[in-house]
């Protein structure tokens, strides 16, 4: 089944385990009759730059760049980049400042949070717990904070930096390796003739994660809504203390601000349990600033 063939796909299991993508049920092209079902397994060797299979691939070079160049993306990615807005491709909106509240697992307390993300990949986080303010800054290689980072904060940092549409697109210009697995994947079992959505375009991305001295290659699935072209899910399996942890990041409530699409709700789950839920109340875009916010010039 080539990428040129129009089809809908029923998604039975969507995870990355041991370097292999899970089982998919592939339904035939859209018709009013019940589709035939074909079981297939896509195996990926994450240690190689090139992967087996017929899916399209982009990225894979260690090229540093400030902006995302649409001409270097495969066609579906260009549509999704365009839906996001022009802030990653054109000067003038490199910095995004977000304010809202985050709720961590095991507590009902809404912690005020300020986030600043800046192209090509810097993140600043300020958490306000009463009179105590916790600050973290990350430049893609090292974390700087006013005290040692704990596990919930590390999960927050990794999600907001690495599990984002911004990271997905900027990584295409650098050292990450991605594959387009197909479009119009559906979430039911493929038997409903009246299924009306949602449908998803799915990419596999292998990205080297750096949050300190450790560099951890991580393979993930990025699910873009086929209709809106916006990122809604990131799914992967990570190892922690010798245990496999299934991670799902839900990115929802997309709204337009300054002609840019921004999500207003981000939730991270591990093995089905919530780790944190972030609600964004305000969004502001501006130019890149050399104000030392990220601890580097």
67 found inside a domain: yes
Cα–Cα dist 297/283, whole Å? 24
Mean per-residue pLDDT for 271-285? 96
**pLDDT over 90, % of the chain:** 54
Structural domain range at position 72: 55-286
Q: How many domains does the chain have?
A: 1
Predicted TM-score (pTM) of this structure:
0.80
What does the pLDDT read at residue 212? 66
23 found inside a domain: no
What does the pLDDT read at residue 216? 84
Kindly report, residue by residue over 214-253, the tens digit of the pLDDT. 788 899 999 999 999 999 999 999 998 899 999 999 999 9
| pLDDT reading at 82 higher than 50 | yes
271 found inside a domain: yes
Instruction: Decide which of 260 and 14 is more confident.
Output: 260
| pLDDT reading at 202 higher than 80 | yes
44 found inside a domain: no
Q: Which of 216, 290, 236, 282 is nearest to 255 (CA)?
A: 282
User: What integer best gives the mean pLDDT of the chain?
Assistant: 79
Instruction: Decide which of 3 and 208 is more confident.
Output: 208
Range of weakest confidence among 54-58, 82-86, 158-162: 54-58
143 found inside a domain: yes
Sequence-distant (≥ 6) Cβ neighbours of residue 187 within 8 angstroms: 10, 11, 198, 200
Under 8 Å between Cβ of 44 and 235: no
Mean per-residue pLDDT for 79-104? 96
What does the pLDDT read at residue 251? 98
CATH number at residue 146: 2.50.20.10
Q: How many residues does the chain have?
A: 297
What does the pLDDT read at residue 10? 39
**pLDDT over 70, % of the chain:** 76
268 phi-psi bin (left φ>0, alpha ψ -120 to 50, beta other):
beta
Kindly report, residue by residue over 30-48, the tens digit of the pLDDT. 333 332 222 222 223 233 2
Q: Which of 5, 13, 3 is nearest to 237 (CA)?
A: 13
249 found inside a domain: yes
27 found inside a domain: no
15 found inside a domain: no
What does the pLDDT read at residue 33? 30
């Amino acid at each position: 089944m080539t990428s040129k063939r129009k089809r809908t796909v029923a998604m039975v299991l969507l995870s990355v385990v041991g370097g292999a993508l899970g089982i998919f049920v592939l339904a035939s092209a859209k018709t009013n009759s019940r589709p035939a079902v074909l079981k297939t397994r896509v195996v990926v060797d994450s240690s190689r730059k090139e992967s087996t299979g017929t899916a399209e691939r982009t990225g894979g070079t260690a090229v540093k760049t400030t902006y995302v160049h649409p001409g270097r993306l495969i066609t579906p990615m260009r549509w999704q980049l365009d839906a996001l807005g022009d802030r990653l491709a054109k000067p003038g909106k490199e910095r995004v400042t977000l304010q809202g509240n985050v709720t961590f697992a095991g507590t009902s307390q809404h912690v005020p949070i300020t986030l600043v993300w800046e192209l090509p990949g810097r993140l600043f986080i300020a958490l306000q717990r009463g009179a105590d303010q916790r600050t973290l800054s990350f430049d893609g290689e090292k974390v700087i904070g006013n005290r040692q980072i704990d596990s919930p904060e590390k999960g927050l940092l990794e999600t907001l930096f690495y599990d984002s549409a911004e990271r997905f697109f900027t990584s295409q210009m650098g050292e990450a390796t991605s594959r387009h697995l197909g479009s119009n994947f559906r979430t039911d079992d493929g038997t409903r003739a009246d299924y009306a959505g949602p449908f998803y375009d799915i990419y596999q991305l292998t990205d080297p994660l750096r949050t300190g001295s450790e560099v951890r290659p991580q393979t993930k699935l990025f699910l873009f809504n086929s209709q809106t072209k916006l990122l809604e899910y990131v799914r992967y399996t990570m190892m922690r203390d010798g245990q496999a942890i299934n991670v799902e990041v839900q990115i929802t409530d997309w709204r337009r601000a300054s002609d840019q699409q921004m999500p207003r709700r981000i939730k991270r789950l591990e093995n089905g349990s919530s780790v944190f839920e972030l609600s964004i109340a305000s969004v502001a875009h501006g130019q890149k600033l050399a104000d030392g916010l990220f601890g580097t010039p």
